[in-house]
Amino acid sequence: MLKSFHLKASKSHQRLLDLAKTDGHRSVTDFFKEEPSRYHSMHAETNGLMMDWSKQRISKATMETLHELASEARWQEGRDALFSGCAINQTEGRAVLHMALRAEPGDTFKVDGEDVMPAVLEVRKAMLAFADQVRSNVEIHNVVNIGIGGSDLGPLMVTKALRRFHDGGPSIHFVSNVDGAHLEAVLDGLSPKNTLFIVVSKTFTTQETMANAMAAKAWLVDALGTEAVRSHFAAVSTNLSAAGEFGIDEQRTFGFSDWVGGRYSLWGPVGLSIACGVGSGNFKALLKGARAMDVHFQQAPDRENLPLISALTGIWSREYLGFETQVVLPYAQDLDRFPAYLQQADMESNGKSTGRDGKPVPHATGAVVWGEAGTNGQHAFYQLLHQGTSIHPADIIAVKSPMSLHLEHHEKLLANAIAQAEALMVGRRSDQVIAEMQQKGASPSEIEAVSPHRVFAGNRPSTFFLLDQLDPETLGMLIAFYEHRIFVQGLIWNICSYDQWGVELGKNLANQILKEWNGESPAPHDPSTNALMQRMKQE
């Protein structure tokens, strides 16, 4: 269990409050004027992933004080507790060891004194062997992953991101929403005899997943008969008996332990659909990249530790500058589901208002995470980023190596990524706008009327990430980077990052409403809920 850290009582916190009143309002362009080498002192890299935080609204003094804050929070001690298998998921009494899922033979991860690696490696071997069998089966043209939340967002994001590594094998599809239209849209055009379903539910009871699984089963059985279930379904679940009752053979069921949270689970059996798409070799490369980031997080000095630094700049923006959101802008179409993946990873982890001590936290916690792939976002919401009344710190992610054969497209993509980071920082002054309008022959009255609308203040913070290439190994590093950033922020905010009690109430009420619609005794509801239920039941 992690020790509580009370931010408001921290000496560094008090200094940061003072710095927010001074340096927090200074212009980043002024920082660059004072220190032309600022980029060199505010960027770091490891194994093909570079992070530049020099455009953050942050001074050297602030950065040093943030590192002191992390030291006061005993972040290194917390990191050691994470990797040692302590039950840091304290409300559920569980360790948090998704890092073990990408570990290599010879690594040691223990829970309650027992080395978990033999079991991890055994399941990995079986899962990847099954994936390669699926890929070599000429009868299987399509694999449909049925899951929701972490059983969908992670595998879907990685499968799309590694599009270029689908060298043969089946097409991979994903069904998550309990809205039957989702399943219907995916199955449209598929052939039952050429389709494999992977049902991903740890308990094999998840409402949405099981509704879709039963409907998929009915679709298959209607065409091929009951016996086809054994050869056209696989499961990722620890509930062997329930999977067996469904008709899935135990040899086609792959489980994982309760020290793996759903939103951190793509590295193990939950990633079976990824492996079916890209093959065992590329899946292992994904794990290798994530493990490399684990090693970096454990061994890199504080001033070069990418997840730590990113966490601290995020805390500065959220707690001290009052910026409520974090926008993620991948300039790579293959990463277009990455913002959605991070929404769950971050907001389900750090969207908490109760501290590890069980008391309400008296400070800000997790930011709202959102975003869209560039350059699409530029034609949607960047207007607000540049001239809106609120400020949204941005993570801009670019890839140096082209991801298609259209090389001229890639040059435009990179130019836009760099330009947006610069534009967010420098803005556009009134004198610049007026000079431009005068040069184009605008009249004085037109300049007076229009020029204010073309001015924007700039000084809007961003961090720039440059990946050498978007391949399995680098993608693994990027995902693990954000996992560790989330951990550090939760540690300093003194919250329990690895439970998600906030999603339970809605589930329970939905089950109750379903029971009432099916004739069971009604429970008390508010007048609005009663009216909505009655309206929906009317024919």
Q: What is the pLDDT of residues 227-243, one digit of tens each?
A: 999 999 999 999 999 99
Instruction: Please tell me the distance from the alpha carbon of residue 160 to that of residue 108, in angstroms, as a whole number.
Output: 32
When pLDDT is cut at 50, 70 and 90, the band that residue 539 belongs to is low
Predicted confidence (pLDDT) per residue in 192-208, tens digit: 999 999 999 999 999 99
The mean pLDDT value of the chain amounts to: 97
**Same domain flag for 306 and 275:** no
When pLDDT is cut at 50, 70 and 90, the band that residue 520 belongs to is confident
State yes or no: is 379 an active-site residue.
yes
From 379, 400, 406, 515, active-site residue = 379
Residue bearing tokens 């997840």:
307
**What pLDDT score does 372 carry?**
98
- Hey, what amino acid is at 349? S
From 319, 348, 473, 483, active-site residue = 348
Predicted confidence (pLDDT) per residue in 267-293, tens digit: 999 999 999 999 999 999 999 999 999
Is residue 399 in some structural domain? yes
**Same domain flag for 168 and 307:** no
**Same domain flag for 508 and 484:** no
Is residue 85 in some structural domain? no
Last residue of a domain, one of 255, 284, 313: 284
From 3, 11, 400, 507, active-site residue = 507
Predicted confidence (pLDDT) per residue in 459-487, tens digit: 999 999 999 999 999 999 999 999 999 99
Q: What is the mean pLDDT of residues 136-160?
A: 98
Beta strands in 162-239 (DSSP E): 171-175, 195-200, 233-236
| First-residue to last-residue Cα distance in the chain | 53
State yes or no: is 67 an active-site residue.
no
The CATH number for 340's domain is: 3.40.50.10490
When pLDDT is cut at 50, 70 and 90, the band that residue 518 belongs to is confident
Is the model's pLDDT at 408 over the cut of 80? yes
Is residue 225 in some structural domain? yes
- Based on the structure, what is the number of domains in the chain? 3
- Choose among 449, 445, 452: nearest CA to 429: 452
Is residue 442 in some structural domain? no
Please tell me what DSSP assigns to residue 113.
Answer: T
**Same domain flag for 143 and 53:** no
Instruction: Please tell me the distance from the alpha carbon of residue 461 to that of residue 421, in angstroms, as a whole number.
Output: 8
Q: What is the mean pLDDT of residues 246-250?
A: 96
**Same domain flag for 374 and 480:** yes
**Same domain flag for 20 and 65:** yes
Q: Cα 74–77–83 angle (5° rounding)?
A: 140
Is residue 349 in some structural domain? yes
Q: What is the mean pLDDT of residues 241-250?
A: 96
**Same domain flag for 344 and 467:** yes
Is residue 131 in some structural domain? yes
Q: What is the mean pLDDT of residues 122-136?
A: 98
Pair 427, 457: CB distance under 8 Å: yes
**Same domain flag for 224 and 341:** no
Instruction: Please tell me the distance from the alpha carbon of residue 229 to that of residue 221, in angstroms, as a whole number.
Output: 7
State yes or no: is 507 an active-site residue.
yes
Mapped onto helix, strand or coil, the DSSP state of residue 189 is coil
**Same domain flag for 197 and 243:** yes
**Same domain flag for 60 and 119:** no
Instruction: Please tell me the distance from the alpha carbon of residue 536 to that of residue 529, in angstroms, as a whole number.
Output: 11
Residue % of the chain over a pLDDT of 90: 95
Element (H, E) at 476: helix 472-493
**What pLDDT score does 517 carry?**
86
* Largest interatomic CA distance in the chain: 81
**What pLDDT score does 538 carry?**
74
Is the model's pLDDT at 358 over the cut of 80? yes
Is the model's pLDDT at 402 over the cut of 80? yes
Instruction: Mention every residue, 6+ apart, whose C-beta is less than 8 A from residue 62.
Output: 16, 19, 23, 24, 316
For the chain, count helices (H), then strands (E).
22, 13
**What pLDDT score does 147 carry?**
98
Is residue 441 in some structural domain? no
- Choose among 361, 367, 364, 332: nearest CA to 461: 367
Q: What is the mean pLDDT of residues 395-415?
A: 97
Range of the domain at 525: 504-537
**Same domain flag for 264 and 357:** no
**Same domain flag for 370 and 514:** no
Length in residues, the chain: 539
Is the model's pLDDT at 526 over the cut of 70? yes
- Hey, what amino acid is at 72? E
Concatenated DSSP letters of 404-438: SS-HHHHHHHHHHHHHHHHHHHH-B-HHHHHHHHH
Pair 102, 123: CB distance under 8 Å: no
Is residue 445 in some structural domain? no
Last residue of a domain, one of 253, 284, 315: 284
